[in-house]
């Protein structure tokens, strides 16, 4: 009888086992992160005074070898994201970005998480939620009709096509329809 495992080199099996252990460790790390957050949240909520809460934060930070800000963030994350939206395959950095974006835009962080997962946004894009008008968009290119080059940037929304200003000027001079001049040299993205 053919033993399938014999034909597989030992190194391949151990690689798979190692890779699985890596994935499991990461999942457990993420689960532990939520667990720590839940405990921190429970302790901080139970504190009856501001002073008591601050003392508890400090003690947790000392015991956990982390900063007070981190303890507070763990508790905020646990508060903002109930168990049914803690996905083991979503990195903590995504949750932190959604929390920050929620605080910035005064929206529920869960709603931002839903958006982020639907659009497959990375952390930088999540951080830009509510700051779209602060962003600088750039376009540059060469006009295929007249060979002119253009570099253009502005603050504000993206998604515009940039016509060639040279061709626009020519069209105006020759009294042609300006629509002839809409040679797109770049798209703001
Ligand atoms: Zn042109």
- Residue bearing tokens 């600088």: 136
| Ion ligand 1 residues within 5 Å by Cβ | 143, 145-146, 148, 164, 166-167
69 lies in a domain?
yes
Which residue stretches of the chain are H helix?
4-7, 10-46, 50-64, 68-80, 92-105, 109-119, 123-127, 165-173
pLDDT-above-70 percentage for the chain:
85
4 lies in a domain?
no
Number of domains, the chain: 3
What would the two tokens of residue 68 be?
């007070």
What would the two tokens of residue 119 be?
């659009």
Residues 125 and 139 in one domain: no
Residues 46 and 86 in one domain: no
Distance 179 CA to ligand 1 centre (A): 12
Say whether pTM exceeds 0.75.
no
Residues 16 and 75 in one domain: yes
Q: By residue range, what is the domain housing residue 57? A: 9-79
Distance 32 CA to ligand 1 centre (A): 59
Distance 126 CA to ligand 1 centre (A): 36
2 lies in a domain?
no
CA–CA gap between residue 66 and residue 26 (Å, rounded): 19
Q: Tell me: the pLDDT tens digits for 120-157?
A: 999 989 998 988 777 777 888 888 888 888 888 887 76
């Amino acid at each position: 009888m053919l033993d399938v495992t014999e034909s597989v080199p030992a190194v391949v099996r151990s690689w798979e086992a190692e890779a699985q252990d890596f994935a499991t460790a990461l999942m457990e790390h993420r689960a532990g992160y939520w667990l720590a957050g839940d405990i921190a949240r429970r302790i901080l909520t139970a504190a009856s005074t501001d002073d008591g809460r601050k003392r508890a934060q400090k003690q947790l930070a000392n015991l956990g070898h982390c900063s007070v800000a981190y303890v507070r963030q763990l508790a905020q994350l646990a508060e903002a994201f109930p168990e049914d939206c803690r996905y083991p395959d979503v990195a903590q950095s995504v949750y932190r970005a959604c929390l920050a974006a929620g605080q910035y835009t005064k929206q529920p962080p869960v709603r931002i998480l839903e958006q982020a997962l639907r659009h497959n946004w990375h952390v930088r894009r999540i951080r830009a939620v509510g700051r779209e008008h602060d962003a600088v968009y750039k376009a540059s290119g060469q006009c295929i009709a007249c060979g002119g080059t253009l570099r253009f940037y502005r603050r504000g929304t993206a998604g515009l096509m940039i016509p060639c200003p040279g061709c626009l000027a020519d069209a105006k001079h020759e009294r042609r329809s300006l629509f002839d001049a809409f040679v797109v040299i770049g798209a703001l993205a």
